[in-house]
C-alpha cells in the first residue's frame, strides 16, 4: 500500500469526478494521501476533504505564488486551520524564483513567517523550492528544523544539497520527474539518498509520471514513482512502498 505524500485533489481539474477518483484509491493500493493547500481557500478545501475521507490528511499553508497580499490576520486564520485534528503539516510554503509570481522579498518574508508558525504550533513543514536553492537553504538553516521535521517536496536539486537537507532532519520527496527520460540528477538523488530519507508523491493533478505523462495526474500514479525508485535502487516495489509509508507517517506524525 502506498502513501501519496503530496497531492492537490481539491484542484478544479477534479471538479467533474473527484468522488469517483478518490473512491478508486483503495482498490489501487493507495491507503493514505496528504492533500496540500497553497492558499487559504485551498487549505480550507483540503481540510474538507480530510474530514470527509478517513485516509486523507490535510496540509495547510500559503505557496510563494500567493504571498503578495498576505497579512498577519491571514496567519491567524492559518493557525486556526492548522489546529484542526486532521491537519498534519504547514505547507506548501517556500520560494519560487522560476515563476516569480510574488516579489522575492515577500516570498522570503512569508516563508520565514510560516516556518515560525510551524515552530510555534510544533508541526512539520512541506517546502516548495524552485530555482531558489541558495535562499531556501539559508532560510531553513536559520531554524532548528529537526525539532519539527519537514519535507522538500518534488525535489529537483543536487545530491549534495539533498544530503544537507537530510542532515537537517528533513525528508526528500520524489515526484513524477524521477521517471522522466534523461533526468540524470533525479536518478542520482534516488540512488544516493537512503530509502529511510525518501518520500514518494504525485503533486497531482500536475507532473504525471511516465508512462502516463501529459495526462491529468492523480494519487494512483504514485506507484510509478515507487517502481522507478525500486528499479534505481535494485529493490522491490513493496520495500519502497513500506519504507516510504513509514517515513511519511513519521514526518506527518500519523499513527
Cell of 25: 484509491
The minimum distance between CB 93 and Ni ion, in angstroms, equals 11
With the CA atoms of 254, 228, 136 and 117 taken in that order, what torsion angle do they form, in degrees rounded to the nearest 10?
-10
Q: How far is CA 75 from CA 72, 159, 208, in A?
A: 5, 34, 32
The minimum distance between CB 175 and Ni ion, in angstroms, equals 9
Binding site for Ni ion (CB under 5 A): 203
The minimum distance between CB 6 and Ni ion, in angstroms, equals 6
Q: How far is CA 187 from CA 181, 190, 212, 229, in A?
A: 10, 5, 19, 8
Compare residues 93 and 148 and give the one whose CB is closer to Ni ion. 93
Please give the Cα distance from 178 to 128 (Å, whole number). Answer: 17
Compare residues 131 and 196 and give the one whose CB is closer to Ni ion. 131
The minimum distance between CB 207 and Ni ion, in angstroms, equals 9
Cross-strand bridge partners of residue 150? 125, 170
Closest residue to bound Ni ion by CB: 203
Compare residues 130 and 233 and give the one whose CB is closer to Ni ion. 130
Compare residues 217 and 244 and give the one whose CB is closer to Ni ion. 217
Closest CA to 35 of 115, 91, 119: 91
Compare residues 203 and 227 and give the one whose CB is closer to Ni ion. 203
Kindly tell me the burial class for residue 159, based on how many C-beta atoms sit within 10 Å of its own C-beta (0-12, 13-18, 19 or more): middle
The minimum distance between CB 151 and Ni ion, in angstroms, equals 11
Amino acid at each position: 500500500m502506498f502513501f501519496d505524500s503530496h497531492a492537490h485533489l481539491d484542484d478544479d481539474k477534479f471538479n467533474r469526478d473527484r468522488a469517483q477518483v478518490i473512491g478508486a484509491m483503495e482498490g489501487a493500493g493507495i491507503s493514505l494521501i496528504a492533500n496540500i493547500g497553497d492558499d487559504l481557500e485551498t487549505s480550507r478545501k483540503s481540510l474538507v476533504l480530510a474530514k470527509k475521507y478517513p485516509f486523507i490528511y490535510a496540509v495547510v499553508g500559503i505557496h510563494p505564488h500567493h504571498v503578495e497580499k498576505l497579512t498577519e490576520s491571514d496567519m491567524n486564520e492559518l493557525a486556526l486551520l492548522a489546529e484542526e485534528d486532521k491537519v498534519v503539516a504547514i505547507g506548501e510554503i517556500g520560494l519560487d524564483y522560476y515563476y516569480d509570481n510574488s516579489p522575492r522579498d515577500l516570498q522570503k518574508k512569508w516563508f520565514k513567517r510560516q516556518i515560525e508558525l510551524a515552530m510555534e504550533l510544533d508541526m512539520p513543514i512541506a517546502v516548495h523550492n524552485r530555482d531558489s536553492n541558495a535562499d531556501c537553504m539559508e532560510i531553513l538553516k536559520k531554524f532548528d528544523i529537526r525539532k519539527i521535521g519537514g519535507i522538500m517536496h518534488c525535489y529537483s536539486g543536487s545530491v549534495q544539497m539533498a544530503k544537507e537537507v537530510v542532515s537537517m532532519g528533513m525528508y526528500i520527496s520524489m515526484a513524477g520527474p524521477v521517471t522522466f527520460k534523461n533526468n540524470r540528477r533525479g536518478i542520482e538523488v534516488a540512488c544516493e539518498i537512503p530509502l529511510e530519507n525518501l518520500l514518494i508523491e504525485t503533486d497531482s493533478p500536475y507532473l504525471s509520471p511516465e508512462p502516463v505523462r501529459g495526462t491529468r495526474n492523480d494519487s494512483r500514479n504514485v506507484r510509478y514513482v515507487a517502481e522507478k525508485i525500486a528499479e534505481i535502487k535494485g529493490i522491490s516495489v513493496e520495500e519502497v512502498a513500506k519504507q516510504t509509508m513509514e517515513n511519511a507517517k513519521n514526518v506527518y506524525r500519523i499513527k
